[in-house]
Amino acid sequence: MDKSTMTKGRIVAMLAIWFVILAVAVVSYQYWWSPKQDEIAEQEAEQQEQEAIDKTSSQSRYTHEINFRADAFSGYAGYRSNTFKQECAKYGIRVNVEDDMANYANRLNALATGKCQMAVFTVDALVKASSQLGEIPAVAVGIVDVTMGADALVAAGAKFPNLDSLNDPDLKIVCTPDSPSETLARAIMAYFSLDQLGTHSFEFVDGPQAVYEAYKKSSPTDNKVFILWEPYVSQITENPEYHSLIDSSKFKDIIVDILVVSRDYLLKNESVVENVTKSYYGTIFQHRNDMESLVAEDAKQLGEPLTPEQVERLVQTIWWKNTQENFGHYGFTTGHSLQHMEEMCTNVIDVLLKTNAIPQDPTDGRPNLLYYDGVMRKLFDTSWHPGFGQEDVRQEKALTALSDAEWTQLKPVGTLSVPRLVFSRGTSRMSELSNATLDGLVGTLETWPQYYLIVRGNTSAQGDVDANRKLAADRSKTAVEYLVSKGVNRNRIHSDTSKPNGSTTVAFILGEVPY
């Protein structure tokens, strides 16, 4: 190859290289440099615009934002109210309330993962959801309300005159799963002699409306009972063939709504949680004399307006707890009949365990893991209350003394599930084991404070009938005296004997004055 040809080749190669460099430069400019410059210019323009907005705008009144989960229960009307939002805003807190359709498992998971910071639960729902999750990522900081008749078991009166008549393996209990209705059913199963019932007895449907529809399709002769809440309870009992066998006004602190917060958020923002708590109890205080208006407006906003009669019934059957009552439940005050949070949680866990609603206690015997008293303690120690002395600790209605004739006219409600008492042969002397059994019964009676107790000595049909009757009477009286010595009000307890029925046991029957 001659020299000129080599020179031409080098020139061509150099031109090719420069062409490639030029092409890369053009491409880089077109696809990187120019867009980058445009991006920088755009960012500068946005920054200038934002600076202009910042200089000509006010600061937000909100310094914290809370995502709050609840459902459409009327007891939560306070959390959905404008009053609550305004009270929170005074502390610079924006609250976004989301209706999750009472999916408690998702609600607890949202607290665990930070999707929400606060929520409302029933105590039983918090226990069950924590058991399913395998941890307790959220804790109660206050009591919202207890139901005082809003939930009820409704049945055909002729077929089901009392709770004892439910003890049938073929009975179906129609109710909403993972709800206060299911909890009411489980409380009845745990405390009363209904050994034929179990998980097979439940017929779960989706919500109280579905329970009501199941009632409408049924006959009074069907082997079905229905558990639901207001206003559906009142709608069913308008039918004279149906009656409320038992409702949540008859037992104590089983269906309890609580204010719950993520543990992580509580650790990092306890002062915010405290201010949300103040805002809520301040809201309830402001509306204490017009809860009907609050509930009616809430139902209207939810698209499910209520009649004035339904609103009145709802307000009568929900006990919204104030700060003074919370102080009592958390153990800061005495001189009242309010149950401590720890006993409340213990009783609920016991009901769920006895009825196999949970495989094991998620607290491992430490119910105090379910609640935190620091927020209420701060309010108590600083003498904070929204009513400036106008809040009272409301007392439950005490049972009055009955005449002998009135005792015979009591309407039986159901026979309590109590282990058999053991007496020395042929005597009314109880064993130590029987004393322990009656000690446990004292706690049961505290849970069912609105019922009288008949202690019935059953009489053997063998041998001397009169002697058997006297022995049965003596044994029932011994049980009564022991219970009274342990603090049971004598006004609510009475002993009697049965006709000879072949049994020598002592039965414990709850009763109520006929309406």
pLDDT for the residue numbered 231: 86
**90 and 212: one domain?**
no
Mean pLDDT in residue range 149-165? 96
pLDDT for the residue numbered 381: 97
Q: Is residue 118 part of a domain?
A: yes
pLDDT for the residue numbered 14: 72
Q: Which domain holds residue 134?
A: 64-147+253-381
**218 and 361: one domain?**
no
167-208 pLDDT tens trace: 999 999 999 998 889 999 999 999 999 999 998 999 999 989
* 386 DSSP 8-state letter: T
Mean pLDDT in residue range 347-373? 97
Distance separating alpha carbons of residues 34 and 29, to the nearest angstrom: 5
Number of other residues whose CB lies within 10 A of the CB of residue 8: 11
Does residue 255 carry a pLDDT above 90? yes
Q: Which of 136-140, 419-423, 442-446 has the highest mean pLDDT?
A: 136-140
pLDDT for the residue numbered 32: 66
**212 and 272: one domain?**
no
Contacts of 475 (CB under 8 A, 6+ apart): 421, 423, 428, 457, 506
118-155 pLDDT tens trace: 999 999 999 999 999 999 999 999 999 998 899 999 99
Based on the structure, what is the number of domains in the chain?
4
pLDDT for the residue numbered 385: 87
pLDDT bracket for residue 23 (50, 70, 90) = low
**15 and 106: one domain?**
no
Q: Calculate what percentage of the chain has a pLDDT beyond 90.
A: 75
Does residue 464 carry a pLDDT above 90? no
Q: Which of 54-63, 365-374, 383-392 has the highest mean pLDDT?
A: 365-374
Contacts of 485 (CB under 8 A, 6+ apart): none
Does residue 3 carry a pLDDT above 60? no
CA atoms within 13 A on the CB side of 90: 13
**267 and 139: one domain?**
yes
**442 and 477: one domain?**
yes
pLDDT bracket for residue 466 (50, 70, 90) = confident
pLDDT for the residue numbered 504: 74
The CATH number of the domain where 348 resides is what?
3.40.190.10
49-63, 250-264, 313-327, 329-343: the lowest-pLDDT one = 49-63
On average, the pLDDT of the chain sits at 91
28-32, 156-160, 365-369, 442-446: the lowest-pLDDT one = 28-32
pLDDT for the residue numbered 309: 92
The CATH number of the domain where 447 resides is what?
3.30.1330.60
**8 and 79: one domain?**
no
**132 and 192: one domain?**
no
pLDDT for the residue numbered 320: 97
pTM attached to this predicted model = 0.86
**109 and 162: one domain?**
no
pLDDT bracket for residue 395 (50, 70, 90) = confident
**87 and 182: one domain?**
no
pLDDT bracket for residue 52 (50, 70, 90) = confident
469-479 pLDDT tens trace: 899 999 999 99
Distance separating alpha carbons of residues 172 and 36, to the nearest angstrom: 71
Using an 8 Å Cβ cutoff, are 310 and 231 in contact? yes
pLDDT bracket for residue 335 (50, 70, 90) = confident
Q: Calculate what percentage of the chain has a pLDDT beyond 70.
A: 93
**433 and 325: one domain?**
no
Computed from CA positions of residues 384, 389, 390, 391, in that sequence, does the dihedral angle turn out positive or negative?
positive
Q: Is residue 398 part of a domain?
A: no
**138 and 170: one domain?**
no
pLDDT for the residue numbered 478: 96
Q: Is residue 213 part of a domain?
A: yes
